Amino acid sequence: MGRLFISPINQLEGPWLIGHDQLDSLNVLFNEIDKLLKKALTQFLDQGIKDLKEDSMEGADSVKKIEKFKKKYAGSEKFTKATFSDGNIYNADSIDAVKSYIAKTPSLKPRELMIKTTQGSIENEFSLILNSNAGEGDSELEYRIKCIDDEIQGEIKVLIDKWVRENRPNKFLQLWINKIVVFVWLFGFLAVIVSGLSINETVSYDDNFKGELKKSAYNLIERGISNENLDSAINLILQIQSEYVPKEIKKETVTVQNFVALKVFIVSLIILIISLIRPKTVIGLGRQSTVLIIYKFWGKTIKYVLTAIFIAVIYDVIKAFLFDY
């Protein structure tokens, strides 16, 4: 059976909204992975020593080879590193220790969190970096797996994938940030300009007169045509068809407010403001805890706000269409 390939480097796009609960589960995951890497190392050493004993003759030479082999894989390291917005770095042995440190200094703003464990050699290690200030081409969450035991490496991958599924941002938020928001901003920007220019429109007295003619025609049709109003009906038809305007009607204009354009302007302005709020990956500890609360609230409400706006716009369009036709 062929070996299942597991990519050693995995990059996941955000935004990742990481709070206390997510960090607690990540800390549990970190400890579980550390134990699995130790297990892989123990099995590897046991098998290696067994092979050396079988291949080497009894005596000092065999003992030296075994000691050299064990020494080669004797190193181990496990740490958690937090980098803050002011450039300071705090090193600890666990995520819980970092949380406790920040709790004592709530003014801190964590920018990056890194966890890493190495057991035996760099061929048997795990690391994860959560970066809230990722630049162009950088990943907001990246993890690396290397294990000297393929089966255990698969177990580690399953555990990580489970954590990712349970803690990654919802699909809508990811789609909004990474795909939709640029087009929404462009639409909102253009709609604000166009509707803003149309809020006040100029209407001539000619148009008012023509509108009154149409209203009179509608009323006449509703009452019905008879011998008594036949002359009036013919007169209305002639005036409407010829677009006749009496000389006494002044050729002046008046500025009126276009309420449809005003509604579109307000809705477009709301959409434009919404598109300017783009949640990014945040490690919700210290001063960033407030940012996390805002982002989570925004993520929950944005769908409903956009849905309500969409329904209102469709309703106005349908209503305008029915009245016009």
pLDDT in the model for residue 183: 78
Q: Please tell me the distance from the alpha carbon of residue 283 to that of residue 107, in angstroms, as a whole number.
A: 13
Q: Tell the residue number behind the tokens 């309420």, with chain if given.
A: 259
Given a contact cutoff of 8 angstroms between Cβ atoms, the answer to whether 16 and 174 are in contact is no
pLDDT in tens, 221-271: 777 777 777 777 777 776 767 666 666 555 555 565 667 677 777 777 887
pLDDT in tens, 30-72: 999 999 999 999 999 888 888 777 766 555 567 788 788 888 8
Query: For the residues of 77-90, what is the DSSP string, one character each?
Result: EEEEEEEETTS-EE
Of 8, 282, 18, the C-alpha closest to 163 is 18
What average pLDDT is seen over the chain? Answer: 81
Q: Is the pLDDT of residue 273 over 60?
A: yes
Instruction: Categorize the per-residue pLDDT at 2 as very low, low, confident or very high, splitting at 50, 70 and 90.
Output: very low
Q: Which of 54-58, 133-137, 280-284 has the highest mean pLDDT?
A: 280-284
β 282-283/141-146 pair status: unpaired
pLDDT in the model for residue 37: 96
Q: List, in sequence order, every residue forming a beta bridge with 142; answer none if it has no partner.
A: 11, 129
Q: What is the dihedral of CA 222, 224, 229, 235, to 10 degrees?
A: 60
Q: pTM value? A: 0.71
Alpha-carbon separation of residue 239 from 187, 210, 211, 296 (angstroms): 42, 9, 12, 62
Instruction: Categorize the per-residue pLDDT at 168 as very low, low, confident or very high, splitting at 50, 70 and 90.
Output: confident
pLDDT in the model for residue 144: 93
3-state secondary structure of 91: strand
3-state secondary structure of 283: strand
Q: Is the pLDDT of residue 214 over 80?
A: no
Q: For the chain, what are the domain ranges?
A: 9-168, 174-324
Of 314, 187, 203, the C-alpha closest to 258 is 203
Q: Please tell me the distance from the alpha carbon of residue 20 to that of residue 36, in angstroms, as a whole number.
A: 24
Q: What is the dihedral of CA 271, 272, 278, 279, to 10 degrees?
A: -40
Angle at 98 between CA 92 and CA 103, to 5 degrees: 145
Q: Which residues contact 66 (CB under 8 A, 6 or more apart)?
A: 49, 52, 53
Name the more confident of 268 and 17.
17
Q: What is the dihedral of CA 79, 82, 83, 84, to 10 degrees?
A: -160
Amino acid at 171: K
Strands (E), the chain: 9-12, 17-18, 75-84, 89-92, 110-120, 125-131, 141-146, 200-204, 253-257, 282-283
